[in-house]
Structure 1
């Protein structure tokens, strides 16, 4: 089904009272999954009993608790699609040592017993990580950092610290994500670039987030993966050729910035010209450094890639295919201080009402609306012209409709203080003179923009109408120059390649799998060829 996910392992490190438990609880609550807390501890004194009771009282009543030391079994017992919170590695390790006759204190551990216990515990954690990878659970392990703080100095205590370090390294080597919490602030720990990466650890860098359609068109195939219209128009090409004579001068973005801002009835101070819309997401991640970001999915993956690269914790908020992929704003975690969504969304084509965006706003939160495909709407103003939406940033691209992907033409509009902050965090002359020339010219080309958008809408309506007659194919309404379709079988992209058609992979978008593809709206002949190929593919499946 759409929305299937592989198991995911996160390790949260931190000292005593660092805020790691709070982060873990927020992630669990924001996951939207049934939460199971695994408590590997034996209560032996009143103080510890009171501590456990306080933790249990702080948890939502519908969270389930498993008291077990078998972490791998706990993942299986948690049930389908659970969020498993292991609280904590420290107690699991302490109890495991005691059960092996190794005590934290002044006793000198027997070397043979020490070696056997160390190997057994590392093997158990390796089995646990493998179980997570094969499950559909999201698993978070809270692990302390006893070596960073004051600890007992006896031989047994030193062994505990050493063994804790090896256990943490074992888990982190297999984890998708490792976070260090200090003073309530989070740092994402990067992998060692020199270490060979494979298995579950290979997903730790989220390489699928950097996959885009321009790399998915094999030679000799028809390009349905890149959602950029043919262009630019002849008059714009001529203006760009004329601008080449001025390339000796440094770029001056003030005229283009003023033109883009005026398009939405805003002062120039509320606009920033960017080197393609994608630059905005990296700039926001590096400059704003939110405490918790919520990325609405399935959607363009560069925002999440940029946030993760900056060490920002990210929660994925799913759209509902049964609701036409429209977002329920209540599904966004209340403590997310940055929210990113697409409007129209890529790859679903869903168009959330402006009221949905308004419902996401609140003091202290920035809402980033990716409006790269707003040029295809009847009213291309989108939320860019809504100065009444507090904390909302609209990210615009002119590359899609006008066929300028190679020129990188984009801008953002938002509150002046935020725009000033982003401006101060970037290098000078980020946008070249040709891109600025194009932006200034296109900001005033509303009549031609509307004509181009209407042409796309006609071709899109024809394609969607034909696709709806393909038996067994699921098709959603869309408001851009692409269509998301889903078959009943895996490998739909590969099946289309057999017919010489290169569609955009959908399985790199969180929340989709390889039964779906995104296809660009092309001319009638190409659209008909696509429909014929899908009829043949779906017919083979039914046979």
Structure 2
């Protein structure tokens, strides 16, 4: 979820600040204590820290941070206090301590040094992949004279390098002085997109909603509607037969004026990205960001080289000319997630050419007034449209989607799959929803009304920027990097922006909900951004 680094000198208040952040996180808290009492004074310090912790907090005393992060429940806020003791322990394991005044590192010690940095990077990445936040409290030594003893110099140097390893990927970094937290400037990921950690491509909104919070992170409508639930319930009475795709496949294809041979039913739209990556194995893929990241994750998992190009933040547009001519695979989302932008049809047309596969993720195309998108276009070479039924109809748990492409591509992808890849209930949903145009249109009109109400509610809040959207979510930006955490304390869970390449912690995505939820959100945002009214 988030990695928060809190730095400070001795008695600066850094530990108290870290504990305050943990208490405000809205998650159960696990306190990982890495220090040990090697004298009476240190025992008193540890006892004072222990007395401050609420009884509900779990304490884990260990220097094996890697194991603690792996073993603790994912929906836990982990507070690691303190980094200094972990470095001290690691130096002991690497035989880096010495009584000599002058002592250069030998070959084994240099190797140990590198192992310690690699270990810090490893547990840092585990921390970043956890659903719950991780807070690390660390000292800020080295402000005085350089010590004369080799051991002290080694500890200071190693401490500085480990802190840089953590800060490199930290979502938030603070320096605590005299009990006051000073936020340090964030690293601008849009200037160095290649630094975006690959493991974060697999983080989605469903991991960002703590128990009991109002879900504004997952952009799936409430569902299924009763008439669809009734059809699925009826279909569930006869599950003895193996799934037969023919009727559902024909219905999905016909919805877009296509032949069944041009339609591949999917176990959720995301399966399409993985099938395309594993089977086509492009030589040079391009992903247009910010966008739904599962497509790039699938490409990288298949060993495909990926180039990222970025939409301009003002209008969230991009120029097809920015895509390298040698790219044989291009992935974009239309309407785009998370920006809500709707690329002109002409933009997609300019990308298509013989010898190139252009994948248009149309997971939210059903929210367009006519619901068609690009899926009906048979005249564009290499075009693949990936569709999802889960968002509009509220059936994400059923995993329902399909893709449309030329018959040869569909046959190639189909041949790479296991038998019966889509369940009978999913087939029933595809067949039913494909013919439910009136119901789809009514649902879309309701979303449009609620979306406009949301945008209107946000319009006059100072310091908050919004963009028009063509789907069931709205992207916002503020100057406050910790707004999501503050809203979590109010029981409102918004989608993090910094898990999308090209965005940062100042961006949040809001799922469109009903009027009462919008009113509650507006009240909270006004309080945090404007002050109590």
Determine if the TM-score, normalized by the shorter chain, exceeds 0.5. yes
Distance 1:426 1:327 in 2: 34
Structure 1 residue ranges, 4+ long, deviating more than 3 angstroms after superposition: 115-124
Written as runs of structure 1 = structure 2, the 5 A alignment for 1:165-184 is none
Match of 1:436 in 2: 427
Q: Aligned match of 1:287 in 276, 279, 288?
A: 279
Q: Distance in 1 between matches of 2:469 and 2:329?
A: 26
Give the equivalent residue in structure 1 for 2:218: 226
CA distance in 1, matches of 2:522, 2:334: 27
Once residues 367 and 513 of structure 2 are traced to their aligned partners in structure 1, the CA distance between those partners, rounded to angstroms, is 14
Alpha-carbon offset, residue 389 of structure 1: 1.3
Which residue in 1 is equivalent to 2:502? 511
- Work out whether residues 292 and 337 of structure 1, in 8 Å CA contact, stay in contact via their aligned partners in 2: yes
Corresponding residue for 2:407?
A: 416
- The verdict on how the C-alpha distance between 1:240 and 1:535 changes in structure 2, with shifts beyond 3 A counting, is same
List gaps (5 residues or longer) in structure 1.
Answer: 1-114, 131-173, 177-202
Which residue does the alignment assign to 1:368? 359
- For 2:381 and 2:525, the matched residues in 1 are separated by 45
Q: Is the 8 A contact 1:492 1:516 kept in 2?
A: no
Offset of residue 522 of structure 1: 0.3
Q: What does 1:45-84 correspond to in 2, within 5 Å?
A: none
Deviation of 1:119 (Å):
8.9
Match of 1:390 among 381, 389, 396: 381
Tell me the distance in 2 between the aligned counterparts of 1:273 and 1:377: 21
Matched length: 357
Q: Is the counterpart of residue 270 in structure 1 residue 290 in structure 2?
A: no
User: Is 2:288 the partner of 1:296?
Assistant: yes
User: Where do 1:88-237 residues align within 5 Å?
Assistant: 206-237=198-229
Q: Deviations over 1:463-483 (max 9, x none)?
A: 112212111101011000001
Pick closer, same or farther for the CA change 1:427–1:218 going to 2, 3 Å.
same
SS in 1 for 2:309: strand
Whether the aligned pair in 1 keeps the contact of 2:220 and 2:392 (CA below 8 Å) is yes
Give the TM-score of the pair, scaled to structure 1: 0.63
The answer to whether 1:339 aligns with 2:330 is: yes
1:407 to 393, 398, 406: 398
Q: CA deviation at 1:516?
A: 1.0
Shift of 1:121: 12
Q: Structure 1 residue 523: deviation in Å?
A: 0.3
Deviations 1:418-449 (A, max 9, x none): 11111111111110000000100110111110
Q: How far 1:245 sits from its partner (Å)?
A: 2.2
Q: CA deviation at 1:336?
A: 1.1
| TM-score w.r.t. length of structure 2 | 0.64
Q: Does the 8 Å CA contact 2:196/2:501 hold for their aligned counterparts?
A: no
Residue in 1 that maps onto 2:473: 482
1:498-536 deviation digits (Å, cap 9, x = unpaired): 221000111010001111111100000001111111111
- For 1:357 and 1:118, how far apart are their aligned partners in 2? 56
Deviation of 1:327 after TM superposition, in Å, equals 2.2
| Match in the other structure for 1:465 | 456
Query: Secondary structure of the residue that 2:247 maps to in structure 1?
Result: helix
Deviations 1:248-286 (A, max 9, x none): 110011111100000000100000000000000011110
Query: What is the RMSD of the two structures over their aligned residues, measured on CA atoms?
Result: 2.6
